[in-house]
Amino acid sequence: MSEHKKQDAQHQGEFPVRRREMSRRQFLSYTLGGAGAFMGAGMIVPMLRFAVDPVLQPKVEAAWVKVVEAAKITEVPTSFKFKVHQVDGWYESEPELEAWISKDKEGNIFALNPTCKHLGCTVNWNGSPEFKDQYYCPCHGAHYTADGKSLAVAPAPLDQYDLKVENGFVYVGQLGPNKRV
Ligand code: FES
């Protein structure tokens, strides 16, 4: 049958007309599915941004913190506590930190962090009568020189704070690797 004749036959109702129609059920499921996906994205995207955004922010260098008058620093390391404002992702806090500050024979002032480089206990200057004029860690016996050099147990020297003296006061800043040993 020619195409022309087929069309005539369809017009006259001899063949069923094939149309691509969407059923009511399909229409409803597409509509509801689309609306659900849209609403879900509206809730999930802000949550994802909240969770991930702080991690993607560039790390800010530690601010300088005024700790003590420079005139009070001697060659004997002394412990000083100070607070820093810390932003860790979405969590803000003001932890108290400690620095052992002293000056060398040339009069250069420096500050060491007392966290032992073995497993993280806290060292003390002259913490053991066995190791005079050294930092000593009570946990496993690590000991360090006044410059923070490890003499036993710990695999690395004590970390050192950036330090500046301004208007007669000692300021400490970023904590980093020991630059003295
Ligand atoms: S943590 Fe200091 S010696 Fe082990």
Same domain, 73 and 52: no
Q: Are residues 71 and 119 in the same domain?
A: yes
Q: How far is the CA of 120 from the centre of ligand 1 (A)?
A: 6
Does 117 share its domain with 154?
Answer: yes
Task: Count structural domains, the chain.
Answer: 2
Q: What is the pLDDT of residues 117-163, one digit of tens each?
A: 999 999 999 999 999 999 999 999 999 999 999 999 999 999 999 99
Sheet architecture: strand order including 124-125: 124-125, 135-136, 143-144, 150-152
Integer Cα distance of 51 and 29 in angstroms: 32
Same domain, 72 and 23: no
Within a domain: residue 181?
A: no
Pocket of ligand 1 (CB under 6 A): 116, 118-121, 137, 139-142, 153
> In sequence order, what are the residues at sequence separation of 6 or more whose Cβ sits closer than 8 angstroms to the Cβ of residue 48?
none
Nearest CA to ligand 1 atom 1: 119
**Could you read off the pLDDT of 29-69 as tens digits, one per residue?**
777 877 777 676 667 655 665 565 555 555 556 799 999 99
Q: What is the 3-state secondary structure (H, E, C) of 11-53?
A: HCCCCCCCCCCCCHHHHHHHHHHHHHHHHHHHHHHHHHHHHHH
Residue 108: give the domain boundaries.
65-176
Q: Whose CA is closest to atom 3 on ligand 1?
A: 140
Clarify whether residues 46 and 82 are in a common domain.
no
Residue 89 identity (one-letter amino acid): G
**Statement to judge: residues 50 and 125 lie in one domain:** no
Identify the CATH number of the domain in which residue 90 sits.
Answer: 2.102.10.10
